[in-house]
Chain A
Amino acid sequence: MADEEFSAFYAATYQRLLGQLVLLCGDRAEAEDALQEAFARASVRWHRLRSYEAPEAWVRRVALNLTRMAARRLRRRTAALLRLGSAPAAAELSAETIDLLIALRALPVAQRQVLVLHHLVGLPVAEVARELHLPVGTVKTRLARGRRALARRLALDPEEVARNG
């Protein structure tokens, strides 16, 4: 019964979370790996998580932490990929999406996180601050800088982006 309930939760949230995670870490394989690990951890804690108001947020937080840890291994992995010139897993995506992923990847992780959590996940600034254990002012600064940098890289109108931020 609990397994069925977990499976339903997993099926309903996996793809959405993967979309968010890929934008957060800029790499689909990395995001898939972290997300599946996070769901595996959630599965063994499901009896507790099921009573949470937002178990999806728990999975996202765990996956986010795992991608941070994975970043430490990035150099080793990149070396392996470069040596053989393997194509990234994102090759099937549209050019527009790949362009956005490349632009996001060029930003510092700290800016990427606040941009995705605020603009994509839709968390208010105060909620982003709570999630990342940061002061609200820091989140606002990172958002403004991240928006400017991303607009520049995507050749969007920086003034319009700043106005709507």
Chain B
Amino acid sequence: MDELTVRLQRAAAEVAERAILPAPDDILRRGRRQRRRHAAGAVLLAMALAGAVVTVPLLRPWQPAAPTGMPPATPSTSTLAPGHGCPARATSAQLIANNIAFHPACLAAVAGKPFTLTFDNQDRVPHNLAIFQGSNAEGANVFRGQVFRGPRVVEEQVPALKAGDYFFHCDVHPHAMQGKLVVR
């Protein structure tokens, strides 16, 4: 075996040895979430094709289960329209990054008011929070927080946002760490 192959194999083995295996349940849950989202998309498409009037509240709410041991969101003041799958009131704006996932995956905030988001990165890897208009990262970026390695808590100052739906993700783990922010 040549030296190049040996070096590649040694490096891959080292990475594999040091890898932290995420719990299989997390992967299964993530798969189920995807299936639900796809199903909701298919329903929307079918209804649109059928010429029906489709409104967002008809969709199945997107609310991934928060893991046990996470602090509950503290209710605040503003009330949201029901049925969008996000908290009914503006949350305490606390976001936890744990095991390469956001908890909760849905936040709510008051329109037109800057707010402080307590971002608790409990992972020993770098994360950040980037917020975009709309339902994916193709929308305009309205906020991008610092990338930092956990365990550490950072108070992010999010500027005033217009009422609407926003998407957020971690720039370092854009597939695994996604969420929705509803501003009303």
User: A residues touching B (Cβ–Cβ < 8 Å)?
Assistant: 3, 6-7, 10-11, 14-16, 18-20, 22-23, 28-29, 32-34, 36-37, 39-44, 66, 70, 73, 76-77, 80-81, 83-84, 86-87, 89, 92-94, 96-97, 100-101, 115-116, 119-120, 147, 150-151, 154, 156-157, 160-161, 163-165
Contact = CB atoms under 8 A, between A and B. Distances in A.
B82 interface: no
A10 B8 contact: no
B84 interface: no
Interface of B: 1-5, 7-19, 21-22, 24, 27-28, 30-32, 34-35, 100, 125-126, 128, 130, 137, 144, 146-149, 171-176
Contacts, number: 161
A43 B31 contact: yes
A139 B32 CA distance: 37
Contacts of B31: 39-44
A83 B173 contact: no
Closest CB pairs A-B (n = 4) = A164-B2, A19-B12, A43-B31, A7-B24
A11 B3 contact: no
A144 B129 CA distance: 42
B11 A77 contact: no
Nearest to A76: B171
A130 to B, nearest CB: 21
Contact of B2 (A44, A93, A154, A165): A165
A43 B4 contact: no
B174 A33 contact: yes
B3 A19 contact: no
B14 A93 contact: yes
A66 B15 contact: no
Given A33-B100, A33-B172, 8 more contacts: A23-B12, A40-B27, A40-B30, A80-B130, A80-B144, A81-B172, A120-B5, A154-B7
B15 A84 contact: no
A109 to B, nearest CB: 16
Contact of B8 (A16, A36, A115, A163): A115
Nearest to B6: A119
A123 B169 CA distance: 35
22 contacts: A11-B24, A16-B12, A18-B15, A18-B16, A32-B176, A33-B174, A33-B176, A40-B34, A43-B32, A70-B174, A77-B174, A81-B172, A83-B146, A84-B147, A97-B11, A100-B7, A100-B8, A100-B11, A101-B11, A150-B4, A161-B4, A164-B1
